[in-house]
Amino acid sequence: MHSFIESAVIAIIITQVAIMVTTIYLHRALSHRALRLGKVTTFAFRAILWITTGIVPREWVAVHRKHHAYTDVIGDPHSPVVEGFLLVQFANVYLYRKAAKDKENLRKYAKDLPPDRWDMALFDRPLLGLGIGIFALFILFGPLVALLVSVLHMAGYLMLSAAVNAIGHTFGDRPHDNLATNNNWLAILTCGEGLHNNHHAVPTAARLSFKKAQIDTGWWTIKFLENIGQATLRVPRPKVASSTAS
């Protein structure tokens, strides 16, 4: 029982860190160029992403930009309108892999992200990154906790990432004129990503919360990085087209 609680706490921390890096680095900085990160932070984020998710950034960016180009119509890699809610919520990783392997897609949507020497040596090798992450858990906490943390983290990260695509295009508020939705509870669990209707309204905004009551911890972290000289915003204050925003 003690091992399970310890594992659950460690897994929650790792999942939250991985989601924070996903939203700030993969989503807001790389995919939408809403901000630029400093060299040290960029390298740290690449390394964290590599050992906690094995995601290849240019693949994630290509899939995500295609999602914005074909939102909720044929061509969207993970739309609950096209694929059905259950498939996107529970098999998002399958839909993601299918789109990520599409070379034409990569050429079209991620040509600004050619592999550099670090990608070639390390970051383009997902299994090596995940292996190092699991090995580190093994050394730090032993085999049982390493196994439990790996399983819980994988389930948590995949379910929450899927929820942004599935719940975030199905249930919740739509203050702006697009099919994505805002869910504050999901935003709390996903470092701001649950404010997905706001995001589709202004994809180039580094800040996903448009109102005081909306929680975007990704934005708080970006403000911190800005204060220590590790982040520069492209659009200081997002302009929202819809009149219902405040």
Structure tokens at 241: 């087209």
Using CB under 5 A as the criterion, what x/- string covers residues 157-196 for binding Zn ion? -----------------------x----------------
What's the rounded Cα separation, in Å, for the pair 176 and 222?
24
CB of 215 to Zn ion, least distance (A): 18
CB of 54 to Zn ion, least distance (A): 21
CB of 111 to Zn ion, least distance (A): 18
| Helical pair 57-69 and 85-100, crossing angle rounded to 10 deg | 120
CB of 29 to Zn ion, least distance (A): 11
Which CB sits closer to Zn ion, 147 or 158? 158
- Is 37 in a helix, a strand, or coil? strand
How many residues in the shown chain lie near Zn ion by CB under 5 A?
Answer: 1
Q: Please state the φ and ψ torsions of residue 137, each to the nearest 5 degrees.
A: -65, -40
Which CB sits closer to Zn ion, 69 or 228? 69
Which CB sits closer to Zn ion, 148 or 202? 202
**Which residues in 196-225 contact Zn ion (CB under 5 A)?**
none
Q: Give me the residue whose beta carbon is nearest to Zn ion.
A: 180
CA terminus-to-terminus distance, the chain: 47
CB of 128 to Zn ion, least distance (A): 28
What's the rounded Cα separation, in Å, for the pair 134 and 58?
23
What's the rounded Cα separation, in Å, for the pair 158 and 188?
16
Which CB sits closer to Zn ion, 63 or 180? 180
Handedness of CA 9, 11, 17, 23 (dihedral sign): negative
Residues that bind Zn ion (CB under 5 A): 180
